[in-house]
Amino acid sequence: MFIDTHTHIHQHDSSEIADIVSRAVAANVGAIITAGVTVEDSRRAIAVARKHERIFAGVGVHPTDLTAPLNDEDIAILNDLAALPEVVVMSETGIDHQDRSPDRQWQEDAFRAQINIARRHGLPIVFHIREQGDDYDAHSARDVALAVLRETNAGELGGTAHYFQGRWKHAARFLDLGFHISFAKTLTRISDLEETARKTPANRILVETDAYPQPFKKNRDRWTEPRDIPAIAEKLAIIRGTTADDIQRTTTENALNMLGTRSAKVRAVLKSSSSAQTHAGR
Ligand SMILES: [Zn+2]
């Protein structure tokens, strides 16, 4: 089964989450990582992960959710949360240089602090990078992120450039540091991403939906959910000249490798579903 490596499904109304998971399982998505974007939201991600065996949590503060510099108390709480067994990644963190994004120094300091927490707990880092405007060739956020990742030797921890939107030459720099590249539904409509999707080594590709509540889409059925992962895999399969089954096996193995010592419970839940399927004769 697939692993949706980056979502925010804990932000849905709690009455919806079991159905979202069922629809994911019906689409062959057996495990879902849901990432916190503030300290409070990270707590909620953990609470939801505790309730649903297929959901695993990330803890972190998203760069656009910073309302002040990350203070010592926030860092201490994140550090405590990162130790909990439901937590499998440090996420969401990163750098965002949109015009209205928070102070850039706060972001850089928060990113560095979160990498330090990840190091203490052996967590991979799943990070966000967004440039100013819609300019995929802009590079300021990426340059800051790369500098921090290098300086902190974060490649040793592993992780992912999530919802990757840059060009191949940009992806190559994250790959060089040891990170994965994660593809989302944008791959099905932004043809400029195809070169990266074709050239990224097989052992470094991941899939994600970044699913979160989308009330701006009036038709509830059109909200992005983990069940959309197979559409991304099919597109990757076409671009890479392979099968969606192969993409599934590869990306699941890559995600488990990235999770390292935190992968055991994810592996177990995927294994229990595949044996259930076998017993059902499917
Ligand atoms: Zn996200």
Burial per residue of 74-84, b for 16 or more beta-carbon CB atoms within 10 angstroms, e otherwise: bbeebbebbee
Q: Is the pLDDT of residue 137 over 90?
A: no
Cα 26 to ligand 1 centroid, rounded to whole Å: 23
Asked whether residue 189 is domain-assigned, the answer is: yes
Is the pLDDT at 189 greater than 60, yes or no?
yes
Helix residue ranges per DSSP H, 165-243: 168-177, 194-199, 229-240
- Within a domain: 6: yes
Does residue 166 form part of some domain?
yes
pLDDT tens figures, 32-51: 999 999 999 999 999 999 99
Average the pLDDT over 1-25 and give the result.
Answer: 98
Q: How confident is the model at residue 139 (pLDDT cuts 50, 70, 90)?
A: confident
Of residues 272 and 257, more confidence is placed in 257
Residue 262 is part of a domain; what is its CATH number? 3.20.20.140
Q: Cα of 91 to ligand 1 centre, how many Å?
A: 8
How far is the centre of ligand 1, averaged over its atoms, from the C-alpha of 83 (Å)? 21
Cis peptide leading into 92, omega within 30 of 0? yes
Please check whether residue 79 lies inside any domain of the structure: yes
Q: How far is the CA of 43 from the centre of ligand 1 (A)?
A: 16
Tokens of 230: 């197979």
Instruction: Tell me: pLDDT of 281 over 60.
Output: no
Q: pLDDT grade, residue 178 (50/70/90)? A: very high
CA of 62 from ligand 1 middle (Å) equals: 8
Q: Is residue 71 part of a domain?
A: yes
Residue 74 lies in a domain: yes
pLDDT, mean of residues 4-28? 98
pLDDT at 278 over 70: no
**Residues 35 and 65 sit within 8 Å (Cβ to Cβ):** no
Q: Which residue has the higher pLDDT, 179 or 135?
A: 179
Instruction: Give a yes or no: residue 282 inside a domain.
Output: no
Q: Cα of 169 to ligand 1 centre, how many Å?
A: 23
Q: How many domains does one find in the chain? A: 1
CA 208–ligand 1 middle distance (angstroms): 9
Q: How far is the CA of 158 from the centre of ligand 1 (A)?
A: 18
Going from the Cα of 126 to the center of ligand 1, the distance in angstroms, rounded, reads: 9
Residue 257 lies in a domain: yes
Residue 274: the pLDDT is 64
Q: Report the separation in Å between the CA atom of 2 and the middle of ligand 1, taken as the mean of its atom positions.
A: 18
pLDDT digits (tens, 9 = 90+) for 232-259: 999 999 999 999 999 999 999 999 999 9
Q: For the residues 200-207, what does the mean pLDDT come to? A: 98
Q: Per-residue confidence at 135, pLDDT binned at 50, 70, 90?
A: low
Residue 33: which of 226, 215, 222, 185 has the closest Cα? 226
Distance 19 CA to ligand 1 centre (A): 21
Of residues 189 and 282, which shows the higher confidence score?
Answer: 189
Q: Is the pLDDT of residue 134 over 80?
A: no
For the chain, what percent of residues have pLDDT higher than 70?
A: 95
Are 144 and 278 in contact by the 8 Å Cβ rule? The answer is no
Distance 6 CA to ligand 1 centre (A): 6
Q: How far is the CA of 275 from the centre of ligand 1 (A)?
A: 31
Strands of the 159-161 sheet, one edge to the other: 2-7, 29-35, 55-59, 87-96, 125-130, 159-161, 180-183, 205-207
Condensed to tens digits (0 to 9), the pLDDT of residues 74-106 reads 999 999 999 999 999 999 999 999 989 999 999
Residue-range definition of the domain harbouring residue 63: 2-277
